[in-house]
Amino acid sequence: MRLVRYGAKGAERPGLLDADDRVRDLSGHVADIDGACLTRDGLARLRSLDPAALPLVDGVPQQDLRLGACVAGVGKFLAVGLNYADHAAEAGMDVPVEPILFTKWTSCIAGPDDDLGLPTGSSATDWEVELGIVIGDGGHGIALDRAADHIAGYCVINDISERDWQLRRGGTWDKGKGHDGFGPIGPWLVTADAIPDPAALRLWLEVDGRRFQDGTTATMVFGPAEIVSYASRFTTLHPGDVIATGTPPGVGMGQKPPVYLTRGQVMRLGIDGLGQQRQKVV
């Protein structure tokens, strides 16, 4: 299944994409695409529905029909740093022996095609295409061999980062990761059963048509199940929590000299089977 949230910002409604890539309304069955419908039981109920019997929504998604973040009510937005060995090399940092966890504040979450407002005083706002994990059934201390069962699905995330704030303003990475708009999620949540191998997905990102990132999740240091199991040692994961899993090389900070976003530029990014995003910098 491909689950979406559509409509005006702040007034999104739940839906799913049918076989013809048209949005079908789910509001008669669920309040939103959130933790309550992303558990095993919740997803089983959605799978029992006939998409053709659901109301058809006017408009073409991502053209004349806006899509919001594909998950609502996110309690925790975690992320993993330096999770691609070649990205660690371009950053001049060692490959981690354990996942590096940090948080993106949930107020940064945005729709996949919403404009990105460049923060006041920003000098080094950067891009990072990432595979996103969405938690289904929650848990604490989840065993590695059971961790995949706790994943409801996957999505595209742009882990936008202000590098000066992240690396040179003291403290943890979080202050460079959580500005408003720094977490576009979607366009849709693809349930885990539709992604047979999340470690074999191509992901890419372009700025103004120039391709900077072009990689594969096969080069992740820690795979999705490892990340879920590891994160659950330190926090209880809840249905609807989101985890960004790291980025391949090609970020702006890694260019020689570094290249950062400026107003008027357009980012396009995507992951095979999970859709594409587009953000204009304003």
What does the pLDDT read at residue 258?
Answer: 97
Measured CA angle at 130 (ends 127, 134), to 5 deg: 135
Phi, psi of 225 (to 5 degrees): -65, -40
pLDDT, tens digit, for every residue of 235-280? Answer: 999 999 999 999 999 999 999 999 999 999 999 999 999 999 999 9
Instruction: Find all residues with CB under 8 Å of 230, minimum gap 6, and list them.
Output: 98, 99, 101, 222
Q: Would you mind telling me the total number of residues written for the chain in this entry?
A: 282
Question: For 42-74, how does the pLDDT look when each residue is reduced to its tens digit (9 = 90+)?
Answer: 999 999 999 999 999 999 999 999 999 999 999
Residue labelled with tokens 């839906």: 15
Convert the pLDDT of each residue in 116-171 to its tens digit: 999 999 999 999 999 999 999 999 999 999 999 999 999 999 999 999 999 888 87
Secondary-structure class of domain 72-280 per CATH? alpha beta
Across the chain, what does the average pLDDT equal?
96
pLDDT of residue 223: 97
Output 172 or 165, whichever has higher pLDDT.
Answer: 165
pLDDT of residue 145: 98
